[in-house]
Amino acid sequence: MGLRGYIAKRLIYTVFLVLFVLTINFIIFEVMPGSPVDFFIGNARQVLTPEKIASIMRRWGLDQPWHVRYLTYLRRMLTWDFGESSPASGSVPVGPMIMNYLPNTLLLMGLSTILSILIGVIFGVIAAYRRGGLFDSTSVIASLITFSLPTFWMGLVFITIFQGILPAGRIVGDNMPPWNFNFIFGTQISYPTTVEIISRIQHLVLPTAVLVLFQYGNYLLLTRATMLETLTEDYILTARAKGLKERSIIFKHALKNASLPIITSSALAFGFLISGAMITENVFSYPGIGWLTLNAIMVTQDYPVLHVIFYVTALTVIIANFTSDLLYGVIDPRIKYG
């Protein structure tokens, strides 16, 4: 089986996997305590008349049997017709609502993930090359400490230390409009001004620093472990015997062959970008998908919004995993698709 056959096989497998994820996503909300009607209407039941509640139930098919709701749910998710949020959230379209928060999450999570991978991989390579030295011991201990510290605690410490120097929350300064990124759903993009860009960078510093400190240790330890194993291989000794430069041996030969686990870990990290950083976003009052998720769970009990967030997150992880499998053959020619 060649590459085309492998891709076709994986695509078929991915279709069934997406259907399985959608089914599990539907079942989770069906078996939760209380009825789907109570969860969907949420706190708004207290201010809605019985006639209005009955109208909402008919509108969303909540008065239908579970299998009818399941088929309707599949159709909506697969066609990206996400409908409206719960009455507690104002019954606004879910798609544009999520797109109001998604750019903030992609900016924060994307920047922090890229920095974490770069710092972790570079420091991991150096630590493996200088095994047993001061840099190795210090970097491993530091990464274990920062990886073990709760992100909410680091966030509060950063806010206390840098109070008055850097903004402690939100995404922009006062009197600045939110970032409009709803062009996917038919509205126009509002391009940020220079002042707004500077403000966004300032507001990104602290939450990004917290996430980088929390995440980079994972890549450092993983890179160090894979590099230590690779550096003992015979072809590394052969490359040194041929007189190749040490930098070329480390990065072109050793790191390339040790990178498969790093690729998998990085791909999954990018797959989870869209889910946001729930704790960090709430500590810094950063309006991203993580903040929206926690708000939908704890405050508005927004059934449709949670459905969409869980589905899209799972979908991005599946795509990221599929992409990493294809990259294996590019990085390591010894891998054959079959």
Query: For 140-172, what is each residue's pLDDT tens digit?
Result: 899 889 888 888 888 888 888 888 787 776 665
DSSP string covering 24-81? HHHHHHHHSSS-HHHHHHGGGGGTS-HHHHHHHHHHHTTTS-HHHHHHHHHHHHHTT-
Which residues lie below 8 Å from residue 166, measured CB to CB, with a gap of 6+?
202, 205, 206
Domains and CATH numbers, the chain: 102-299 (1.10.3720.10)
Could you tell me which residues come within 8 angstroms of residue 12 by beta carbon, excluding any fewer than 6 positions away? none
Instruction: Provide the pLDDT for residue 338.
Output: 57
Q: What is the mean pLDDT of residues 188-204?
A: 71
- Pairwise CA distance, residues 216 & 210, whole Å: 10
pLDDT band at 195 (very low <50, low <70, confident <90, very high): confident
Higher-scoring residue by pLDDT: 199, 217: 217
Q: Is the pLDDT of residue 231 over 60?
A: yes
Amino acid 189: pLDDT: 53
- Is pLDDT above 70 for 183? no
Q: What value, to the nearest 5°, has the Cα angle with vertex 189 and ends 188 and 193?
A: 140
Is 313's pLDDT higher than 80? yes
Q: How far is CA 90 from the centre of its chain?
A: 26
- Please tell me the predicted confidence (pLDDT) of residue 119: 92
Q: Report the C-alpha gap between 30 and 26 in whole angstroms.
A: 6
User: Taking the model in full, what pTM does it have?
Assistant: 0.77
**What backbone torsions phi and psi does residue 172 show, to the nearest 5 degrees?**
-140, 170
Kindly indicate the confidence band of residue 174, based on its pLDDT and cuts at 50, 70 and 90: very low
If we measure between CA atoms, which residue out of 324, 193, 203 comes closest to residue 262? 324
Between the two ends of the chain, the Cα-to-Cα distance in Å is 5
Q: What is the largest CA-CA distance in the chain?
A: 84
Q: State the pLDDT at residue 175.
A: 46
Interval 280-290 mean pLDDT = 83
pLDDT at 245: 81
The DSSP code for 253 is I
Name the more confident of 138 and 49.
138
User: Among positive and negative, which fits the CA dihedral 106, 109, 114, 117?
Assistant: negative
**CB atoms closer than 10 angstroms to residue 285:** 13
Q: What's the mean per-residue pLDDT of the chain? A: 77
Q: At what angle do helices 289-298 and 303-331 cross, to 10 degrees?
A: 140
Written as one letter, the residue type at 285 is S
26-51 pLDDT tens trace:
888 777 766 666 666 655 566 667 77
Q: Residue 115 has what pLDDT?
A: 92
pLDDT band at 177 (very low <50, low <70, confident <90, very high): very low
Task: Locate 283 and state its tokens.
Answer: 């500590």
Q: Locate 329 and state its tokens.
A: 């053959």
Q: Per-residue pLDDT tens for 87-103?
A: 666 777 787 888 888 88
